[in-house]
A and B are shown apart, each in its own frame.
Chain A
Amino acid sequence: MIDGPATHLLFALNVCKTYPDGAVHALNGVTLGVHEAEHVAITGPSGCGKSTLLNLLGVLDRPDSGEVYFRGEALSTCRDLDRFRAQQIGFVFQSFFLLPTLTAKENVQVPMFEGLPRSARERAKKADELLELVGMAKRANHRPMQLSVGERQRIALARALANDPALLLADEPTGNLDSENAVRVLDLLTTLQKERRLALLVVTHSVEVAERADRVVRMKDGKVLDDGTATKLHQGQAMARG
């Protein structure tokens, strides 16, 4: 199933990460690949290393050993990881992390300073298009505090798409939402993933979120426990229950 870096959009090869105190091996030799336009969910108990893996795949952190490849290129050799992150990766966080002083439209433009739209007019136009895409055009001039949590996450999603990334990384994207808003955001996320042929990697505790994925990776104690389809995951869970 796992062939190698060359056939994947993103490929983590035997990555390890130990936090500075040396006591916790957050990741212990994880190998994981994500294809172009593939939807992958990572599940597992708290502290199993899901978020650490997401940080390494999103180049927010570096592995102690092992390598992360993007379209076959080792990221350890990349000279400008900030630019790479800005142009190839979009992030969606559990707590949205919108900037409170900016309007929805301005928040969407923040990553564009390091992206392709060069002028303020181009950035504004692109932001309008993205807000339309996530159904938030009418709320463009509202600040985060004036929006519901569901609306905030949709703005965060528009921001993640600002530079037309190839990969979207979402860390518990529905973790702070009620069930109604969670379904809306998930619908939007999966629709956009398919329409835009994005690779989507979602870290989640939620079965509802995981079962929408093409593949589900289960982790435990810093290692990949199993890697398969959502159906297989259900079968595995059913068998485990007895």
Chain B
Amino acid sequence: MHFVTFILKNLTRRPTRTALTVLGLSVSVGSMIALLGISENFRDSMSDTFEKRGVDLVGVASGAADQLSSEVDEAIVDKVREMPEVAGVDAALVELSEMTLREPRDENDTPPSSQVLVQAWLPDNFGYDDLEIRAGRKLSADDAGQFQCMVGYKFSENNNKGVGDTITILRHKFTIVGVFKSFNLFENGCILTLLKEYQELSGRKQKVTGFSLRVKKTSPNPDAEVESVRQKILALTDKDGKPYRVSIERPQKYLDNAVHLKITKAMAWIVSFVALFIGVISMLNTMVMSVLERTQEIGILRAVGWPRGRIIRMVLGEALFLGMAAALVGAVGAIVITHLLAQSPKVNGFIEGGIAPWVVVQGFAITIVIGVLGGAYPAFRAARLLPTEAIRHD
């Protein structure tokens, strides 16, 4: 018999209690893995987008918590585009807008409306280049003034809208000319239209929420070139000679400073911490009960020569096995749940199925810590038992 066999046999003694403890703990661990996985997916999706599009610098209004609350004068985009060191500029007005999917049937009919993420792009944005067109075509400068749009494939699937269908945004009817798939999580669930007409509709003429750009790299030190362009943009002034209220950062720094990502991650950790605390209490309760029930047996083990250290290893081992079983169940549950959520129209492409392996590894590591924390007190309590008193215990 191996020592591990002995530990496992102790766990199978009360199968219902063991199963319930694993289940309870797996909910805690699974919640943590799912929440952290989703928050990481947000960041990874944005990071991937910047990387795959070759973005060197990102500009938003200085002090803006996120791109949705940012507003930058479009004039700076034109000035940046004219810089000889700049290879390309993407500018966008991104906002949540009211949308209706059908026309009113009569004067008294009010079609149900919902919020949708609208991205209004310049027709020459380099972001169009990597959109995979699944139906129809891309927007072009020729579509200007015709209120036409493209939709992400998630939006199309969730709302059953395709090429030729219409959507009403800000009380204007837009015709879908293309359905696309992007490697950006959010773009797949959004409506993409042209910047100028959307600026007019939303009352934000000559304003964008942000821009990104590629820098021409010709020297052996591309970082220096990017930094030089960054400094030049920061030095730009408006027609009154005042500097623009704009923050220009490398994509990773922009993501590190993005308040909405920080809040998402902080919320995920707060909820995870509460869930994990409940997990520790659950583990503690189970192990204390288990040790109390086996007081006499522990006395026997001490009598036959088991040192305190082996008793501690036995109880901690049981807690660790419970934790690892819970981590396994929780990880599988978290992956399944995020996949199911990603399919749900309710989240409309804002959640990506799949969890980064390192988040799962993190979940396992934290569960081992839970196992040690939840098992430590009962283990030391068991080890402190005097053999003579423990054997007499009934």
Contact = CB atoms under 8 A, between A and B. Distances in A.
Given A101-B13, A102-B6, A91 B297 contact: no
Contact of A114 (B2, B13, B307): B307
Interface in B3-52: 3, 5-6, 9-10, 12-13
B387 interface: yes
B303 interface: yes
A124 B1 contact: yes
Nearest to B299: A97
A97 B1 contact: no
Contacts of B3: 113
Given A86-B306, A113-B3, A97 B388 contact: no
B391 A97 contact: yes
A99 B293 CA distance: 12
Q: Which of B3, B6, B12 has the most CB of A within 10 A?
A: B6
A232 interface: no
Interface string A62-102: 00000000000000000010111111010101000101111
Contacts of A115: 305
A226 interface: no
B394 to A, nearest CB: 10
Interface residues of A, number: 33
A145 interface: no
B301 interface: yes
Contacts of A106: 1, 5-6, 9
B173 interface: no
Contacts of A163: 305
A86 B302 CA distance: 9
A123 interface: yes
A99 B13 CA distance: 11
A198 to B, nearest CB: 16
B87 interface: no
Interface residues of B, number: 25
Contacts of A93: 300, 391
A91 B303 contact: yes
A58 interface: yes
A86 B297 contact: no
A158 B353 CA distance: 58
A192 to B, nearest CB: 17
A114 B296 contact: no
A58 B9 contact: no
A113 B6 CA distance: 11
A183 interface: no
Contacts of B303: 58, 60, 85, 91
Interface in B298-322: 300-308, 310
Contact of B306 (A58, A114, A124): A114
Nearest to A110: B304
Interface of A is mostly: helix
A84 B307 CA distance: 11
Contacts of B387: 60-61
B1 A85 contact: no
A114 B305 contact: yes
B304 A85 contact: yes
A116 to B, nearest CB: 12
Contacts of B96: none
Given A55-B388, A60-B388, A93-B391, A82 B6 contact: no
A120 B2 contact: yes
B386 interface: yes
A43 B322 CA distance: 47
B165 to A, nearest CB: 65
A2 B249 CA distance: 92
Interface in A118-147: 120, 123-124
Given A60-B303, A86-B304, A120-B1, A113 B310 contact: yes
Contacts of B307: 80, 82-83, 114
B6 A97 contact: no
B305 A111 contact: yes
27 contacts: A55-B388, A82-B308, A85-B304, A85-B305, A86-B304, A86-B305, A86-B306, A87-B305, A91-B303, A97-B300, A97-B391, A99-B297, A101-B9, A101-B12, A101-B13, A106-B6, A106-B9, A110-B6, A110-B301, A113-B310, A114-B304, A114-B306, A114-B307, A120-B5, A124-B1, A159-B304, A162-B304
Given A91-B304, A99-B297, A162-B304, 4 more contacts: A82-B306, A87-B305, A93-B300, A120-B5
